[in-house]
Amino acid sequence: MRSKPVTGGNGDRSTDAVIVYVMRRMRAPLITLIVVLSVSLLGLVLIPGQEPDGTPWHMSFFEAFYFVSYTATTIGFGELPYPFNAAQRLWVTFMIYPTVIAWLYAFGAILSLIQDPVFRHALLESAYSRHVRRIKTPFHLVCGYGDTGQILVRTLSQENQQMVVIDIDQGAIDELRIEELKLFVPGLSADAAKSAHLIKAGITHPYCHTVVAITDDDRANLKIAISSKLLNPKVQVICRAESKGIEDNMASFGTDRIINPFNSFADTLEVFLFSAEKFRLRKRLFDCYTNPKLPQQVAQGHWIICGFGRLGQAVYQRLASHGLPTVVIEANRPVESLPEAHVIGRGTEAVTLMEADILHAAGIVAATDDDADNLSIIMTARELHPRLYLVGRQNVRANDALFDAAAIHMRMQINRIVANHATSFIATPLFHLFMAQVQARPEPYVAGINTRLNNVMGEAAGDLWQLNLTVDDAPAICRAIANGQTMMIRHLIMDPWSCVVTRPAVPLALQRHGTDEVVLMPELTTQLAAGDSILLFGRDHKVCLNSRFSIEAVEFMLQNERAAMA
Amino acid sequence: MNFQKVVFAFFILLALTLNFGFVLGAIDAPDHHNIYELFAAIVVNLIATVMKFGERSHIGNVLLASSLVADLQLLVSACIWGWVAHISADGVTPGAMASIVSLAAGAFIANIVSVILLMVETATFRR
């Protein structure tokens, strides 16, 4: 995540330039070493010596090189092959100091050059480029590896999605390297807001499918989105935006998906308060708000919102639009920007809360951007009014344990919301079309979906998955369709080896090839065509998917069925 | 006058001339080929190679490559000399000498390429 400025700004220099620079700095130590060693070598060869029996003898180049090598490196085997005479010893006395010094100097200089952070960074960068160049499957470029990025990368690697990561902070990239992921995820430490770094990270790669800009800096996300759209218009861009202005700006040039965690949480709270069935469905399919304690009935009464920042305002708008009375507690903003029913204060003290009439309130939203304040508000409020419905905002992932212990009814975790939305945009894009349709339906219709899910699955948890009937994703099914066989949705969840058993799964939505229209809750007998996308929810989704890959399994299933009918 | 350029050209030329001096003579006559000249050729070649480290131009890269070829040829010829003189039973035979000199002759060609490239670079240099 963007938190620290990059060290030394070395990201701009190209890898080649750094290697050239390092080699140039190796010149002096290497030339010193060559000159010193060759002079001492020559001296040893030229100075006459004697064999033990007195016959004159000259050291050969081979013997001299051997002697100089073990002397310069301070190993010192002694006077070989014969004991030296006085003249030789005099020369060795002179040469021994410069050779040892030259050796240590060259050795040390080269070692420190190799360990130079700039050089190491250049090597890591070129290793990264090599990995990215070799990718032969569609991949996602994740910009920002903070708390959000970590959750996202871990979840997507479970789904076998290929990813690459870029983050401004070297520490974050080091963490990525330590992380044990199912797939190898290359990481580059550079500022993604600069287009040169985005290109290096692989934005123009033919297989780059999605760019996910989830740094904690709105302006950086905006810059990434606009660069991506300019450099590679085909790429899908998913962005995090925390303010309205940035969000509108992103939408203006066609950013595909914008995640505003505050709006998204306020929507969830709205659904929770005013349409219970939709909330049940949402919670079952997309459980990214941990701990919504259900089915606690929210009492009648007004709501208290502590902190009128981005979250506070979003929640206020939703509640006010339904005519629910609210009281806002805020200390730092100008009075004229606050709604009529407000209390000046921080909400962490009992006095302020009493002033907001907490004893008759239905619930409280602790929405400040300070985790300690939020916890304090929650604790004080519970003390004053134990049956209050508590909604708390958690800003930092490191406070997980504290918020767990506080037993809040509904918790807003920014990182988790952004990561889960990004994951579902990538892995199950149909889900969002499905939810948009469901949102427009009346409650009884949604209750029907919930009943259906309960009938098929019971209380068990399940997975959401999307199957695209393309040659890459479902080769066996596409082949069967191409051969004129009738494929229906029920074939997708049937055990191919026995025509009777079906997996516990419910088809939620079907999108026909080439249309934007989504069919809600399609029948199991709906006939499939190549290019369709189906959203399913159920258990054993890995088993279901695997069997769709096997041409034998699909053939067997269809033949069995024909035989049964005949 | 650029002193650095003088030193650079000096070593490249010296590598060529020393190499030529060693190769000159009957190919298999040990008397015609001085071991000190080979030693000097190796040392000067190594220095010339290191001086070409870190050149960014394309010609600089080819210069480095030709120098590395010359180093390789000369070092192998020196190793063969060491082998025949100290390890093999036959000593420095005319046959062994011929292979030593022919390797050095290969290095000579690489050094000629170096000098030609240097001349090309000089000729195309514009102020």
Chain A contact set for B91 (CB, 8 A): none
Contact yes or no for A181/A157 (Cβ under 8 A): yes
CA gap A285, A253 in Å, rounded? 31
What is the band of A546 on the pLDDT scale with cuts at 50, 70, 90? low
pLDDT digits (tens, 9 = 90+) for A326-362: 999 988 888 888 888 888 888 888 888 888 888 888 8
pLDDT exceeds cutoff 70 at A296? no
What does the pLDDT average to over B48-65?
Answer: 89
At residue B55 the predicted structure's pLDDT band, cuts being 50, 70 and 90, is confident
Q: pLDDT tens digits for A177-224?
A: 888 888 899 999 888 888 888 998 889 999 999 999 999 888 999 999
- Residue A219's SS3 state is helix
Which three-class secondary structure state does DSSP give residue A554?
A: helix
How many other C-beta atoms are found inside a 10 Å radius of the C-beta of residue B52? 23
Q: Look up residue A187 and give its amino acid.
A: G
pLDDT-derived band at A291, boundaries 50, 70, 90? very low
Q: Residue A294 pLDDT > 80, yes or no?
A: no
Q: Is the dihedral of CA A379, A381, A382, A384 positive or negative?
A: positive
Q: Judged by CB atoms within 8 Å, which residues 37-96 of B form the interface with A? A: 39, 43, 46-47, 50-51, 53-56, 78, 82, 85-86
Percent of chain A with pLDDT over 90: 30
B86: nearest CA partner in chain A: A62
- Position A544 scores a pLDDT of 66
Query: Any residues with CB less than 8 A from the CB of B117 and at least 6 apart, and which?
Result: B59, B62, B63, B66
Which DSSP string do the residues of A40-102 spell out, in sequence order? HHHHHHHSEEE-TTS-EEE--HHHHHHHHHHHHTT----S-SS---HHHHHHHHHHHHHHHHH
List, in sequence order, the alpha helices (H) in A202-241: 218-231
Per-residue pLDDT, A289: 41
> How much is the pLDDT for A292?
44
Give how far B78 is from chain A: nearest CA, Å.
9
Lowest mean pLDDT among A255-259, B41-45, B96-100: A255-259
Report all structural domains of chain A as residue ranges with CATH numbers, in order of start.
15-115 (1.10.287.70), 135-259 (3.40.50.720), 274-424 (3.40.50.720), 460-565 (3.30.70.1450)
pTM equals 0.76
> Are A15 and A54 contacting, i.e. CB atoms less than 8 angstroms apart?
no
Q: How confident is the model at residue B7 (pLDDT cuts 50, 70, 90)?
A: very high
* Whether pLDDT at B127 is above 80: no
Contacts of B43 in chain A (CB under 8 A): 34-35, 38
> Per-residue pLDDT for B75 more than 90?
yes
Mutate to test the interface with B, among A14, A27, A36 (most CBs of B within 10 A): A27
What DSSP designation does A299 have?
P
Q: Alpha carbon of A180 to those of A147, A150, A154, A183, A351: distances in Å?
A: 16, 11, 9, 9, 49
Question: Which residue ranges make up each domain of chain B?
Answer: 3-123
CB A282 within 8 A of CB A274: no
Over residues B75-89, the mean pLDDT reads 93
Distance from B81 to chain A by nearest Cα, in Å? 9
Q: Please, what is the average pLDDT of chain A?
A: 86
Distance, in Å, from the CA atom of A156 to the CA atom of A137, rounded to the nearest integer, reads 15
Does residue A6 register a pLDDT over 60? Answer: no
Average pLDDT over residues A260-286: 86
Q: Which structure tokens are listed for A270?
A: 């709205």
pLDDT reported for residue A7: 38
Q: Which residues of A fall within a CB distance of 8 Å from B85?
A: 60, 62
Res A315: pLDDT = 92
pLDDT of residue A3: 40
CB contact (8 A) between residue A26 and residue B78: no
Percentage of residues of chain A with pLDDT beyond 70: 93
**Could you report the predicted ipTM of this complex, rounded to two decimals?**
0.92
CB contact under 8 A, B78 and A38: no
H/E stretch holding A321 reads helix A310-321
Confidence band (pLDDT; 50, 70, 90) for A1? very low
Question: Which pLDDT tens digit goes with each residue over A394-415?
Answer: 988 888 899 888 888 888 888 8
Does the beta-carbon distance from A31 to B51 stay under 8 Å?
Answer: yes
* pLDDT score of A548: 65
Task: Tell me whether residues B53 and A61 touch, CB distance under 8 A.
Answer: no
User: Does residue A41 contact residue A64 with C-beta atoms inside 8 Å?
Assistant: yes
CA distances from A371 to A214, A392, A407, B56 (A): 21, 9, 14, 54
Q: How far is A84 from chain B (nearest CA, A)?
A: 20
CB contact under 8 A, B39 and A35: no
Show Cβ contacts of residue A447 under 8 Å, excluding neighbours closer than 6 positions: A277
Q: Which residue has the higher pLDDT, B70 or A255?
A: B70
Write the single-letter amino acid at A550.
S
CB pairs under 8 A between A and B: 46
pLDDT at A529 over 80: yes
Report pLDDT for A287. Answer: 66
pLDDT on residue A545: 67
* B residues 5..34 contacting A (CB < 8 A): none
CA distance A89 to chain B (A): 22
B103-115 mean pLDDT: 96
